[in-house]
Amino acid sequence: MLLKKMFRDMRAAKVQFVSIFILAFLGVFVFSGMRAQWEGMRENVDSYYQDTNLADLFVMGVSFGGEELAAVEALNNVSTAQLRLELDVIADLENEPTLRLLISDRNDVSQPMVVAGAAYDPNGKGIWLDRAFAEGNELEVGEVIELSYEGMTFEFVIEGLILHPEFVHNVKDAKQLVTDPSIFGYACLPSAALSIPGGIPYSHILVDVDDQVDPNEQKNLETLLSEGSKVFHVMTRETHPSIDVFESEIAQNREMGNLFPLVFFFVAALSMMTTMTRLVLAQRTLIGTLMGMGFSRRKIVAHYVSYGLWIGLAGGVLGLMTGPALISALLYSFQEVFYSLPEWSSYVSPISISSVAVVVFICAGAGYFACIREMRDLPAAVLRPKAPKVSKHTVVEKSKIWHRLSFSVKWSIRDILRSKARTMMAIAGVSGCTLMLVWGIGLYDSMIASQTWYFEDLQRYSSKVYVDSSATPEAIFEQPAKMQAVDERTVSVRDGEKRQMLPMRIFGEGNMEHFEDKNGKPLTLPEEGMLVSLKTAELLNIGVGDKVSFRLLGEEKDYESYVSSINRSPFDQGIVMSEDAFEAIGLEMNTSAYLLSDREIVREDAKGIVDIKDKEFIKDSYGQMLESLNMIIIVLFLAAVLLGVVVLYNLGSLSYAERIRELATLRVLGYPLPHIRKLLRVQTLLLTAIGSLAGVPLGIFFIRLITESISENIDFPSYIAPVSVILCVAGTFVVALTVDGLLSGKTKRIDMVGALKAVE
């Protein structure tokens, strides 16, 4: 019987229960969806690494051979090791992309996953090409690819297409953000396909350890191998660029997935609370009757708790059924652009499923509290209607402004203060709406700001000409004065007991690249000392004036300089020195590229050019990333509008229902309809103003959470343009006014005659 009563009550308070249903649904939908998405990534990438036996440690150095390999394999805890040479060559294709060759004589560690063509044969003569590279450059299995390296050319038959576990984030270096086959690709090549006199000088030893990486293992390897001066650095999975980027991608998704649904859960709890309180109050005498009839307290409480139970369960189950599939599909379509994994599938973990229990608990709990609060009294007292809540003169009224406020504002403020739960629900919902708008637009603004900062403010050149060691400025440029030489290399910097591989750039005379300090003020390249980027300084835990000791590739000698300033750049982390400062510590600059503002000055018969890259080209790939971000923004935008509409509609219909008698009285007194609508609107607008003002800082905080977790190699300041903030607040008001418009029809149905009757 009571179940029947519940369904009828729900039908009577349709709007409220539907909105709780939607909020419960959205909470679970978003939570389980986002969780299934990142847990799916976790599962997929873990099994990918497992299946391909991804290396645990990457020993990097020069001219490794059988001797070093044997020494590594002899170490405790090492199960297998494999030699590899990594070599960047130029493919003879349009745009002359770089192809990174992974040359190895075995296939035990970090195995390629073949997706087309023949199985990988470590003794074969052909090449196994990166699938994205092959597709982007329209190459097929069986065709021949021509490669050149330092003036030599080679030809290989494409035997198969592969994915490689070390290239989940398939880019040349940290500056390239998106996989772009016209810039970069990779390929696996058996050592047998090359005949090099004296054997192949391997650059890597891939190490597979038995169980987990023993922290001492890395150090052991370094000590053991550094004796021969051939080891440069030992990289773990945590510091591997591709692995690290993907890990931080997962971390970001986890962060968003944990924060985002909180808004919905919170608002759902508050809505349930207000709705149930109202329902219980309206049925107070009925509860008294039931108690008088001999229903036990427990049974009555259970009845009201069951409202939340069923609504929460219905919304939650629907959310769980749709969220993981829809949200994963949506976000994966965006991530597939950036990462290559053999499989993109969602994973519904017990935690995702338990979110249904959480939402049921929240709704039922809110019902429970609303109910027991009213039932503390004895049956006889409960039978009588509750005395109306006494309004009080509040603190606000003591202030001088109070008397200047219009009547409708005064009335609204009193009403807001009188019904606190409803007010809190509205403010939480509205601020959630603004928060998501600010979050979405802020992420976009931050990206745009970084783009302008990097490509306009810092990089003042239009093209970059990569040269080999034989090149001289005179042989390349008609007017050598109009360019700036740069030497880009990787150095090994001492970091306490460890060493860090960091990019270092040395600049010749010129003004093609600008530098900025932490506050965005321009910095000039110091004549002595070095600029260290903020992220690098944080990594090494150093500040201005501290000494920095580093080694060049393949050398054992330590060079020392000091930090003269800390600079900031979104994508260029590491160390920067001027030619003078570099020479002052006894080193010589070895130009690897020239920066120029006018490509016309390059001679037609120039010699020694490896590659020319236009800045616009790089900028385009950045633009591509921005476009895919639009998807996230649309999702946030839709969620914001949905939350705003649900909460404000709920607020509107609740405050309408609670004040129906007052409104009817005003109608009898002769208040015109527009006047009454204004009274309701003023309250909505007041709460919208408070909520959206609270939402702005919260949104900015959320942007920061995301930008700060992006990556070790990217310094991404959060930024939102003032006009965007205004737009977000305005957007929230548009939602509020729209909902108000939807609700205004209700005022027409106010029953004046009903106002004359007694209070129920």
Q: Which of 300, 282, 283 has the alpha carbon at shortest distance from 291?
A: 300
Among 398, 404, 669, 745, binds other proteins (CB under 8 A): 669
Q: Is 580 in the site for other proteins (CB under 8 A)?
A: no
Q: Is 756 in the site for other proteins (CB under 8 A)?
A: yes
Q: Is 42 in the site for other proteins (CB under 8 A)?
A: no
Instruction: Please say which residue, 410 or 460, places its beta carbon nearer to other proteins.
Output: 410
CB of 388 to other proteins, least distance (A): 5
CB of 535 to other proteins, least distance (A): 56
Which range of residues in 108-116, 213-221, 294-302, 411-419 is near other proteins by CB under 8 A?
411-419
Helix (H, G, I), strand (E, B) or coil at 618: helix
Q: Is 70 in the site for other proteins (CB under 8 A)?
A: no
Burial of 23 (0-12, 13-18, 19+ CB in 10 A): buried
Instruction: Please say which residue, 152 or 387, places its beta carbon nearer to other proteins.
Output: 387
Q: According to DSSP H, which parts of 52-88 are helical?
A: 66-73
Instruction: Please say which residue, 269 or 663, places its beta carbon nearer to other proteins.
Output: 663
CB of 727 to other proteins, least distance (A): 35
Burial of 96 (0-12, 13-18, 19+ CB in 10 A): middle
Instruction: Please say which residue, 1 or 669, places its beta carbon nearer to other proteins.
Output: 669
Q: Is 673 in the site for other proteins (CB under 8 A)?
A: yes
Among 361, 411, 466, 656, binds other proteins (CB under 8 A): 411
CB of 675 to other proteins, least distance (A): 7
CB of 295 to other proteins, least distance (A): 31
Do residues 134 and 161 lie in contact, with contact meaning Cβ atoms separated by under 8 Å? yes
As a whole number of angstroms, the longest Cα–Cα distance in the chain is: 106
Q: Is 401 in the site for other proteins (CB under 8 A)?
A: no
Q: CA torsion angle for 488, 494, 495, 501 (degrees, to 10)?
A: 30
What does the block give as tokens for 28? 């679970």
Q: Is 415 in the site for other proteins (CB under 8 A)?
A: yes
Residue type, 613: K
CB of 682 to other proteins, least distance (A): 13
Residues 416-445 that bind other proteins (CB under 8 A): 418
Do residues 249 and 335 lie in contact, with contact meaning Cβ atoms separated by under 8 Å? yes
Among 401, 403, 407, 760, binds other proteins (CB under 8 A): 407
Which range of residues in 360-368, 403-411, 623-631, 683-691 is near other proteins by CB under 8 A?
403-411
The whole-angstrom separation of Cα 152 and Cα 608 is 13
Do residues 6 and 280 lie in contact, with contact meaning Cβ atoms separated by under 8 Å? no
Task: Tell me how crowded residue 652 is: count the other CB atoms within 10 A of its CB.
Answer: 23
CB of 648 to other proteins, least distance (A): 21
Q: End-to-end alpha-carbon separation of the chain, Å? A: 23
Burial of 130 (0-12, 13-18, 19+ CB in 10 A): buried
What are 453's strand-pairing partners?
none
Do residues 46 and 339 lie in contact, with contact meaning Cβ atoms separated by under 8 Å? no
Do residues 188 and 127 lie in contact, with contact meaning Cβ atoms separated by under 8 Å? yes
**Cβ-Cβ contacts under 8 Å for 23 (sequence gap 6 or more):** 264, 267, 268, 271, 315, 643, 646, 647
Instruction: Please say which residue, 613 or 661, places its beta carbon nearer to other proteins.
Output: 661
The whole-angstrom separation of Cα 385 and Cα 253 is 51
CB of 385 to other proteins, least distance (A): 12
Q: Mask of contacts with other proteins, 271-310, x by CB under 8 A?
A: ----------------------------------------
Q: Which of 454, 531, 465, 552 has the alpha carbon at shortest distance from 174?
A: 454
Q: Which of 399, 397, 398 has the alpha carbon at shortest distance from 411?
A: 397
Among 548, 666, 682, 728, binds other proteins (CB under 8 A): 666
Q: Is 757 in the site for other proteins (CB under 8 A)?
A: yes
CB of 393 to other proteins, least distance (A): 7
The whole-angstrom separation of Cα 600 and Cα 513 is 19
Instruction: Please say which residue, 229 or 394, places its beta carbon nearer to other proteins.
Output: 394
Among 668, 723, 726, 730, binds other proteins (CB under 8 A): 668
Residues 376-395 that bind other proteins (CB under 8 A): 387-393
Output DSSP code: residue 671. -
Instruction: Please say which residue, 645 or 664, places its beta carbon nearer to other proteins.
Output: 664
Q: Mask of contacts with other proteins, 626-665, x by CB under 8 A?
A: -----------------------------------xx--x
Among 151, 197, 670, 745, binds other proteins (CB under 8 A): 670
Q: Cα dihedral sign for 598, 601, 606, 607?
A: negative
Q: Mask of contacts with other proteins, 338-377, x by CB under 8 A?
A: ----------------------------------------
What are 233's strand-pairing partners?
60
Site size toward other proteins (CB under 8 A) is: 32
Instruction: Please say which residue, 258 or 406, places its beta carbon nearer to other proteins.
Output: 406
Residue type, 463: S
Output DSSP code: residue 153. E
Among 1, 152, 481, 753, binds other proteins (CB under 8 A): 753
Instruction: Please say which residue, 506 or 750, places its beta carbon nearer to other proteins.
Output: 750
CB of 420 to other proteins, least distance (A): 13
Q: What angle do CA 375, 378, 383 make, to 5 degrees?
A: 85
Rounded to a whole number of angstroms, the CA Rg of the chain reads 33
Task: Tell me how crowded residue 285 is: count the other CB atoms within 10 A of its CB.
Answer: 14
Instruction: Please say which residue, 413 or 635, places its beta carbon nearer to other proteins.
Output: 413
Let me know how long the chain is: 760
Which range of residues in 406-414, 568-576, 630-638, 710-718 is near other proteins by CB under 8 A?
406-414
State the residues that interact with other proteins by CB under 8 A.
387-393, 407, 410-411, 414-415, 418, 661-662, 665-673, 675, 752-753, 755-759
